[in-house]
Amino acid sequence: MLRTQAKFNIGQVVRHRKFPFRGVVFDIDPVFANTDEWWEAIPEESRPRKEQPFYHLLAENAESYYVAYVSEQNLQPDETGEPVGHPQVDSMFHQLEHGQYQIDAPLN
């Protein structure tokens, strides 16, 4: 049985290692759980391993806000301490402390 421990937590602010965006984790898949089309759209030499946690992020870059799906190997903690400006952050979280948002309501 494959056991995977996520490195990042729900509510944690992270940034992409290669691309200029950051976001707050709002869900975690223990292994890849997106579509084959999504997977195949990534250039083969850049595809991350499927057997690792994948994170759903409320993401932002200099131009826009969006939802991103990112492998653990491509993320690192965001050290800026700055809030994420994505408009959905306030509906899911409150109070940013030390790079971690607090969850508003228990997850069912």
Amino acid identity, residue 87?
P
107 confidence band (pLDDT: 50, 70, 90) = low
Specify the pairing of strand 22-29 against strand 13-16. Answer: antiparallel
Of 59, 7, 58, the closest CA to residue 30 belongs to 7
Listed range (2-11, 31-40, 54-63, 92-101) with the worst mean pLDDT: 2-11
Do 12 and 89 contact (CB within 8 A), yes or no?
no
Q: How many CB atoms lie within 10 A of CB 72?
A: 19
Model confidence over 29-71: pLDDT tens digits?
999 999 999 999 999 998 999 999 999 999 999 999 999 999 9
Report the Cα 10 to chain-centroid distance in Å. 9
User: For 14, phi and psi rounded to 5 degrees?
Assistant: -130, 165
What is the pTM (predicted TM-score) of this model?
Answer: 0.90
Do 72 and 9 contact (CB within 8 A), yes or no?
no
